[in-house]
Chains A and B, each alone.
Chain A
Amino acid sequence: MSSLAQNARVVVALGRRSIYQTFRRPQLMAPIIIFPSLLLAVQTGGAGRAVDLPAFPEVNGFLDFMLAGAMIQSCLLAGNSGGIALAVDIEMGFTDRLLAAPISRFAMVLGRLAGTAALGAFSAVYYVVVGLIFGAQIEEGVIGVALMIVFVTLSAVAFGGIGAAIALRSGSASVVQGLFPLVFVILFLSSAFFPYELMQEPASTIAEYNPVSFIVEGVRDPVVSTLTGSDAAKAFASIAGIGVVSLGLSAGALRHRLRTGQ
C-alpha cells in the first residue's frame, strides 16, 4: 500500500474514532445539536415578529432566516468540541500513541478534522430536517440543500482547524473550553441571528465584514431566495480563507509541539 493510501486510511480511521467519541460523550454532542436547537426554538418562538421590521430581508418566516445561523453555530461549536477532544487526547497521552506510529504527523489533525467535517454534514442534514418539519421552505430545493451541506461541512473543517490549533498549542482542554463564550460573541457580531442592517453601530459594521456573516449568507441564500453566485462565492472565499489560516496555524502548532515536546 502506498504511503498516501495508508495515510488516507489512517485519516478515515481517526475520523471514525472522532465521530464515535462525539456520540459517546454527551458533553461533546450537546453543543452541536442541543444548544443550537434550543436557541433556534427560543429565537424563532420569541422573536418571530422581527421579520415585520422595516429593512428585514424578504423571507417566508423567521425560521427560514434562522436555519443558517443554527447550522453555523453548530459548526463553530463542533470545531470547538473537536479542539477539546484533541486537547483531551494530548492530556491523556493518546496523541503519543499516534505519534509513535509510522504515519504522517499531520494525519492526526486531519483525522480529527475529518470527524468534525462528518459532524458538520450531519448537523446540516439535521437542521434541514428540523426546519422542514417546522415549516421552513428551501427556495432552491434539492440543489440548495446540497449546497448548504457542502458549505456547512467545509465550514466545520475550517472552524475545526482553529480548535485544533489552540489544542495543539496549549495542550489543555480547559483552555479550548474557555473559548466557548467567544463563539457566541463571534456569532452575535455576525448576521447569524439578526440582519446586520438592523444592528446598531459599531456592531453593524463589524457584522457586515465578519467572515462568519459571509458564510452564513452563503448558507442562507438557497433557503430564502434564488441562488446568487456572489453570496456563494463570498461564502466559499471566507471558508477558504479561514481554512487556510486555521490549518496553517494547526500545522505550526503541531510542529512546535513536536520540536519542543510540549
Chain B
Amino acid sequence: MAAIQVRGLQRAFGDDVFAVRGIDLDVAEGEIYAFLGPNGAGKTTTVRMLTTLLRPTGGTAKVAGHDVVSEAGEVRKAIGVALQEAALDPLMTGRELILLQATLHGLSRTDGRRRAEALLTRVGLDHAADRRVGTYSGGMKRRLDLASALVHRPRVLFLDEPTTGLDPVSRKAIWEEVQALNDDGATIFLTTQYLEEADQLADRVGIIAGGLLVAEDTPDALKSEIGNAHLEIAVCDGKLERAQEVVADLGKPLPSRNGLLMIELKGGAGSVAPVVRALDEAGLAVESLDLVEPTLDDVFVAKTGRHLEADDEEVSPGAEPVRAKA
C-alpha cells in the first residue's frame, strides 16, 4: 500500500486562483519523497491538504490508507507534521511543548513524560528542555518542532521546508535526523526549495512549479535525463581553438564560456582521463579542470524554463504535468 496516494489534487482560492492544479503522485512506505519547487509553487498548499489542514477543491488524496477529507481523523492519528516557520509558542518551554503534543495525541501523562525525555535527548535539546522556546536558536526550534512531530510515532512524517533559513551546521543536523528517522521506518514527505537537500535526502524528487508536478523520479534519473557531465577546462596560453580540435572526438563540444573549453563527456567521469591525456600529448598545458555534473537546477530549468532560485512563480507555458504511474 502506498503511504501517500494522490490523484488530480487541486486547490483553488476563489474562482480563478489555482494554487495546485491537479497533482498525481504515489509515495511508497519507507520512502523519502522531496517536493522541490520555488516559493509559491504549491508545495505548502499540497502539504496542507495532505495533512488535513486545507480541504482540496478537486481530486482525492489518501495518507496511510485514509482519505484526507472523509477520514481526516484517521489521517491525523497516522501523521506527524512539522510545518514551515516552526509554529512554536515562544512562551512555552521545550518540555511543555512536547508534553502538550503528547496530550493532543492521547498519550498518558507518564508515557508523555517518558517520550518527551527521550525525544528531547534524541534531538540534543535535553539541556535546554526547561528554557522558553523564545530563547532557542533557529536550529534548536526546528529540532524541537521535529521532536514534537514524532511524539506519537507517526507512520508518515510531513516536513514543510524543514531547513529554510538555517545555517549549514543546523541544516546538516536536521538532515541527519531525517535520515535516521527514515532508517527507523518512517515515510517522509518533505518540501524544499534547496536542490542540495532534495539531492542528499530524497529517494525520489517531485518538481513542482505553478501548481503542477512537472517532473518526478530519483535524483540521478532526473539528472541523467538532462545529459551527461561536462568538463570545463582552462587551457594555458589561450590555445582554446587548438584544444577544441584535440578533444573534439572525445565528447560533444559545447560553446565555450568565459574562455573555458567545454565538452560534454559521453562516458561520465570515466572519460576525464582520455581528455587530459590527449591535451597533454598535444603539448597543451591545463591550468584548471572541473567536472560538472548535471544538477537538479538543470532539470528544473529544462522542465520549467527558469532557475529554481528565480522568484517568479509562473510556470513555463510549455510545462507538462507528470501523471502517477498506474
Q: How far, in angstroms, from A24 to B133 measured CA to CA in the complex?
A: 13
**Does any Cβ of B come within 8 Å of A103's Cβ?**
yes
Docked complex Cα distance between A10 and B52 (Å):
19
| Cβ-defined contact, B105 with A17, below 8 A | no
Q: Is there an interface contact between A93 and B83, defined as CB atoms closer than 8 Å?
A: yes
Complex contact A97–B101 (CB within 8 A): yes
CA distance A98 to B52 in the complex (A): 11
What is the CA–CA distance of A24 and B53 in the complex, to the nearest angstrom? 29
**Does B2 interact with chain A (Cβ within 8 Å)?**
no
* Separation of A13 and B132 alpha carbons in the complex (Å): 18
Asked if A21 is at the interface (CB within 8 A of a chain B CB), the reply is yes
Would you call B53 and A98 a contact (CB within 8 A)? no
Interface: A6 (CB within 8 A): yes
Name the residue of chain A whose CB is nearest to the CB of B48: A261
State the CA gap A101–B75 with chains docked (Å): 9
Whether the Cβ atoms of B106 and A98 lie closer than 8 Å is no
> Could you tell me if A100 and B91 are in contact, using CB atoms closer than 8 angstroms?
no
A165 to chain B, nearest CB (A): 21
Does B87 interact with chain A (Cβ within 8 Å)? yes
Within 8 A of B (CB), among A33-70: none
B104 (CB) vs chain A CBs: closest residue: A101
Q: Choose one: A1, A24, A99, A262; the contact of B91 (CB below 8 Å).
A: A24
Shortest CB distance A222–B (Å):
36
Q: Is A126 in contact with chain B by the CB < 8 A criterion?
A: no
Q: Which single member of B89, B96, B106, B148 contacts A102 (CB below 8 Å)?
A: B106
Q: How far is the CA of A102 from the CA of B96 in the complex (A)?
A: 19
* Chain B, 68-91, CB within 8 A of any chain A CB: 73, 76-77, 79, 81, 83-85, 87-89, 91
- Contact indicator A96/B87 (Cβ below 8 Å): yes
Which residues of B are found within 8 Å of A256, using beta-carbon distances?
Answer: none
A233 to B223, CA, bound (A): 76
CB distance from A110 to the nearest CB of B (A): 14
Contacts of B92 in A (CB 8 A): 17, 20
Is B73 within 8 A of A102, CB to CB?
yes
Instruction: Answer whether residue A94 sits at the interface, using C-beta atoms and an 8 A cutoff.
Output: yes
Q: Which chain A residues (3-18) contact chain B, with CB distance < 8 Å?
A: 6, 9-10, 13-14, 17
Q: Is B46 an interface position by the 8 A CB rule?
A: no
Contact A92 B53 (CB under 8 A): no
Tally chain A residues at the interface, Cβ within 8 Å.
27
In the complex, chain A residues whose CB is within 8 Å of the CB of B282: none
Please tell me if B323 contacts chain A, counting CB pairs below 8 Å.
no
- Number of B residues with CB within 8 Å of any CB on chain A: 29
How far, in whole Å, are A177 and B79 apart by their CA atoms in the complex?
A: 35
**Cβ–Cβ contact A21 & B104, under 8 A:** no
A100 touches which of B51, B85, B96, B103 (Cβ 8 Å)? B51
A20-38 to B contact mask, C-beta < 8 Å, 1/0: 1100110000000000000
> How close is B324's CB to chain A, nearest CB, in angstroms?
25
Residue B301 at the A interface, CB < 8 A? no
State A14–B99 Cα separation when bound (angstroms). Answer: 11
Interface contact B89-A21, CB-CB below 8 Å: yes
A97 / chain B contacts, CB cutoff of 8 Å = 81, 83, 87, 101, 104, 148
- B195 interface residue (CB < 8 Å to A): no
The one of B77, B87, B104 in contact with A92, judged by C-beta atoms closer than 8 angstroms, is B87
Docked complex Cα distance between A13 and B13 (Å): 34
Q: Which residues of the other chain, A, contact B83 by a CB distance below 8 angstroms?
A: 93, 96-97, 100
B106 to chain A, nearest CB (A): 5
Confirm or deny: B269 has a beta carbon within 8 angstroms of a beta carbon on chain A. Answer: no
Complex contacts, A89 vs chain B, CB 8 Å: 89
Give which listed residue, B13, B73, B89, B105, contacts A94 with CB less than 8 A.
B89
Known A100-B53, A102-B76, A261-B48: A21·B103 in contact at CB below 8 Å = no
6 A-B residue pairs with Cβ-Cβ distance under 8 Å, sorted by A, are A13-B100, A93-B87, A96-B53, A96-B83, A101-B76, A102-B73
**Additional pairs, 13, CB under 8 Å, beyond known A9-B103, A97-B81, A259-B55:** A24-B132, A25-B91, A89-B89, A92-B85, A92-B88, A93-B87, A94-B89, A96-B81, A100-B51, A100-B83, A101-B104, A102-B76, A261-B48
Q: B: which residues have CB within 8 A of A? A: 13, 48, 51-55, 73, 76-77, 79, 81, 83-85, 87-89, 91-92, 96, 100-101, 103-106, 132, 148
Interface residue ranges, A against B (CB under 8 Å)? 1, 6, 9-10, 13-14, 17, 20-21, 24-25, 89, 92-94, 96-103, 258-259, 261-262
The 10 closest A-B pairs by CB, nearest first: A93-B87, A101-B104, A102-B76, A261-B54, A13-B103, A100-B81, A24-B91, A102-B77, A94-B87, A100-B51
